């Protein structure tokens, strides 16, 4: 098996098992159930808000330590933080314990960048970037689909949502992802702190002289047969240079890389889109369960069966198919990407407005599924 296929397989398995968290579609309902017994307002303002702001604050830090630690330790820590997150909601936790769990969830959510960074760092040929990105994204969404489908199926068979059992299954999924991350191959190179790829440095050779002096001056004869040209190409690895690389040098490199990257208007435009799109997705993904519970309470329909898991599973299934299909398309995304992202963003905004104004659960489910499909396809194009 070729190296890029092997690495893609490792990352796809990790991305798949990382999403085996069946409690997620029913998280808000679990918070307001007798098992936890906090209000919907507390769930929204005191619990979910901590996770959202933790994710926002940690994402840049996670990016830097991911590069410094060469990805794999962060992947292992990702699974451990997931275990802590879901262990903190077992039993009858206090509000403080729930908030501490959300801080770990912020790290868990932010470190998604780690396995994509690992994927690119271990794949030398950039021609495969689009394909492996689509595969990893599809694996992530497939895991989310299976997890949500499992949660919904168990709930329908049981007659009610077995919250505690779903939490334990989520803990097992996080444990498996941590073990799998430990088994993944080590990374030798990273972008900033451990850039050890070979580079060619041309060094001019000393001039060839052949002078003889009667007064006893020195005679210098260079062996030109050992030099194929008037320059000598020396292979020097950055590993030797990086032995004494200080934090100041790395920060200087980061500064230069930042200036070089953001001097390109296309990069600025894409990064702005990414920031707004990802921020919106975090808010929607975090608070959609709150909206489900709010509308259900507003309609005072105690007999309505929650299909949160079914909505999430359809969301991810369609998104996985779309992401994988987009990843295989051979198009010039520099030309058509802007149009695709622009139209997709407008449509995503329209369906979110639909979620806001409607008070019918079935319409909210449908709008959320459409939004998820649009976001995942646009994200694959952007990556």
Is residue 251 in a domain? Answer: no
Q: Which residue has the higher pLDDT, 255 or 74?
A: 74
Distances (CA, A) of 356 to 14, 282, 353: 34, 16, 5
Q: Using the 8-state DSSP alphabet, how is residue 200 labeled?
A: E
Angle, in degrees to the nearest 10, between helices 49-68 and 72-87: 160
Domain limit, last residue, from 215, 244, 273: 244
CA distances 238 to 66, 71, 255, Å, are 20, 19, 19
Q: Cβ(37)–Cβ(89) under 8 Å?
A: no
Is residue 81 in some structural domain? yes
**Main-chain dihedrals φ then ψ at residue 302, nearest 5 degrees:** -75, -10
**21 & 116 share domain:** yes
Domain boundary among the residues 211, 244, 277 is at: 244
Q: Has residue 252 been placed in a domain?
A: no
Q: pLDDT tens digits for 26-59?
A: 998 899 888 888 888 899 889 988 988 888 888 8
- What are the tens digits of pLDDT across the range 164-174? 899 999 999 99
- Dmax (CA) for the chain in angstroms is 113
| Statement to judge: residues 230 and 347 lie in one domain | no
Number of domains in the chain: 2
Residues 6+ apart with CB under 8 A from 29: 161, 163, 289, 292, 293, 306, 308
Task: Say if residue 7 is in the same domain as residue 136.
Answer: yes
Q: State both tokens at 183.
A: 């088994």
Q: Is residue 219 part of a domain?
A: yes
Q: What is the pLDDT of residues 218-251, one digit of tens each?
A: 444 344 344 444 444 444 444 444 444 566 777 7
Mean residue pLDDT across the chain: 81
Which residue would you say has higher pLDDT here, 160 or 242? 160
Q: Are residues 312 and 236 in the same domain?
A: no
Residue 341 in any domain: the answer is yes
Residues 73 and 56 in one domain: yes
CATH number at residue 24: 1.20.1250.20
- The mean pLDDT value for 111-123 works out to 86
Helices (H), the chain: 3-18, 27-31, 40-42, 49-68, 72-87, 95-110, 112-121, 129-158, 163-183, 238-242, 247-262, 265-299, 308-328, 333-357, 361-382
Residue 373 in any domain: the answer is: yes
Residue 266 in any domain: the answer is yes
CA distance 211 to 351: 84
User: What is the pLDDT, as a whole number, of residue 350?
Assistant: 95
Per-residue burial over 229-255, b = 16 or more CB atoms within 10 Å of its CB, e = otherwise: eeeeeeeeeeeeeeeeeeeeebeeeee
Tens of pLDDT, residues 184-208: 998 887 666 666 554 433 344 444 4
Q: Length of the chain, please? A: 383
Same domain? For 42 and 97 the reply is yes
> Look-up: residue for tokens 């909505």?
311
The verdict on 172 and 210 lying in the same domain is no
**Domain membership of residue 213 as a residue range:** 198-244
Same domain, 211 and 187: no
Specify if 303 maps to a domain.
yes
Do 214 and 233 fall into the same domain? yes
Tell me: pLDDT of 88 over 90.
yes
Does 45 share its domain with 153?
yes
Residue pair 345/291 in contact by the 8 Å Cβ criterion: no
Cα dist from 91 to 191, 194, 346, whole Å: 43, 44, 43
The separation between the first and the last C-alpha atoms of the chain, rounded to the nearest angstrom, is: 25
Q: Beta strand 231-237 with 198-204: parallel, antiparallel or unpaired?
A: antiparallel
The whole-model pTM stands at 0.77
pLDDT in tens, 253-311: 778 888 887 888 888 888 888 889 988 888 898 889 889 888 888 877 666 778 888 99
Using one digit for the tens of pLDDT, what is the confidence trace for 100-114?
Answer: 999 999 999 888 888
Q: What is the pLDDT of residue 83?
A: 96
Which pair of structure tokens corresponds to residue 338? 């802007």
Please check whether residues 19 and 91 belong to one and the same domain.
yes
Closest by CA to 211, choosing from 202, 222, 200, is 222
Instruction: Indicate if 180 and 219 belong to the same structural domain.
Output: no
């Amino acid at each position: 098996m070729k190296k890029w296929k092997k690495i893609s397989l490792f990352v796809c398995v990790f991305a798949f098992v990382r999403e085996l968290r069946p409690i997620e579609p029913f998280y808000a309902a679990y918070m307001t159930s007798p098992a936890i017994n906090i209000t919907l307002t507390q769930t929204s303002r005191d619990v979910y808000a901590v996770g959202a702001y933790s994710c926002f604050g940690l994402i840049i830090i996670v990016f830097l330590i991911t590069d410094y630690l060469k990805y794999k330790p962060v992947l292992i820590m990702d699974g451990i933080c997931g275990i802590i997150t879901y262990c903190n909601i077992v039993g009858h936790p206090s509000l403080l314990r729930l908030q501490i769990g959300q801080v770990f969830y912020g790290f868990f959510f932010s470190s998604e960048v780690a396995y994509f960074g690992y994927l690119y760092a271990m794949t030398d040929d950039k021609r495969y970037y689009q394909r492996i990105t689509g595969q990893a994204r599809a694996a992530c969404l497939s895991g989310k689909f299976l997890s949500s489908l499992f949660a919904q199926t168990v709930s329908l068979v049981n007659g009610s949502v077995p919250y505690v059992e779903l939490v334990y299954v989520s803990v097992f999924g996080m444990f498996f992802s941590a073990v799998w991350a430990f088994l993944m191959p080590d990374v030798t190179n990273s972008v900033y702190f451990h850039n050890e790829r070979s580079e060619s440095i041309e060094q001019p050779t000393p001039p060839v002289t052949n002078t003889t002096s009667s007064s006893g001056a020195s005679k210098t004869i260079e062996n030109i047969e050992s030099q194929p040209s008037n320059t000598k190409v020396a292979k020097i690895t950055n590993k030797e240079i990086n032995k004494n690389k200080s934090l100041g040098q790395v920060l200087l490199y980061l500064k230069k890389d930042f200036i070089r990257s953001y001097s390109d208007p296309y990069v600025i435009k894409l990064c702005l889109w990414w920031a707004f799109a990802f921020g919106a997705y975090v808010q929607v993904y975090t608070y959609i369960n709150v909206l489900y519970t709010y509308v259900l309470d507003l309609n005072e329909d105690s007999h309505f069966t929650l299909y949160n898991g079914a909505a999430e599973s359809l969301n991810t299934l369609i998104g996985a198919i779309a992401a994988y299909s987009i990843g295989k398309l051979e198009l010039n995304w520099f030309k058509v990407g802007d149009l695709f992202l622009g139209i997709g963003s407008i449509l995503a905004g329209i369906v979110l407005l639909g979620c806001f104004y409607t008070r019918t659960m079935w319409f909210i489910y449908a709008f959320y599924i459409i939004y998820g499909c649009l976001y995942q396809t646009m994200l694959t194009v952007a990556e």
